[in-house]
Amino acid sequence: MTKESSDPRVARTRRDVVDATAALLLERGWDGVTHAEVARESGYSKATVYTHWPTRLDLIRAAIEQICDTEHHPSATGNLEEDLRTALRDFAADLTDGHLDRLLAGVVERSNTSEVVRELRGRLYETGTSHMREVLSAHLDPADVEPSLALLTGAVLVRVTFEGRAAGADFVADVVSRVLSAIDSRRVVTP
């Protein structure tokens, strides 16, 4: 461990700056994150921010890593339909209430510009869908997991991002029911 990494002042500075960056990213989107804004929001000088995060992408990567590392999902009960409803409502709430739709839009828009951004896109998707993937994996044939996950998350993404509408409990219940019905119909063997 280096002296810098064990210095509590450096750790506090890093935490404060990353917290400020994450808040800006969620409130204002990718374009709202600048060294000047992060310095203003965190209370540190631009020189301090540039010292630890030389590029805006460095700031954004640290913020996204923090957002992903602090994400919490509800516990599974063992009931497939109820667990999927809960997980999908949680996903929808993260998109709308947590403003992750702005974060995702910025990452998707820039994913062809940098390998780092492509990795961040993958990390966000993995974090956002990990609970649903676990629930599906516990109950479904492995071949059904990824297509079901895409249908569930895709429905919510379209509803929230493209339609600009809430993905409420009734909508989520309907989507889950349709996906599970489609899986059940594939399991029926016709003579």
Q: Find the CATH number of the domain harbouring 59.
A: 1.10.357.10
Average pLDDT on 158-164 reads 89
Percent of the chain with pLDDT strictly greater than 70: 94
Domains: count for the chain: 2
Non-local CB neighbours of 114 within 8 Å, separated by 6+ positions: 57
Q: Is 188 helix (H, G, I), strand (E, B) or coil?
A: coil
Residues 117 and 132 in one domain: yes
Residues 45 and 97 in one domain: no
State the pLDDT at residue 1: 42
CB 120 within 8 A of CB 64: yes
Residues 167 and 131 in one domain: yes
Q: Which structural domain range is residue 142 located in?
A: 74-187
State the pLDDT at residue 57: 93
Q: Is 112 helix (H, G, I), strand (E, B) or coil?
A: coil
pLDDT digits (tens, 9 = 90+) for 46-78: 999 999 999 999 999 999 999 888 878 888 899
Residues 57 and 11 in one domain: yes
Residues 150 and 85 in one domain: yes
Percent of the chain with pLDDT strictly greater than 90: 60
The Cα–Cα gap between 170 and 121 comes to 29
Model's pTM, two decimal places? 0.79
Residues 92 and 143 in one domain: yes
Boundary-marking domain end, from 18, 47, 67: 67
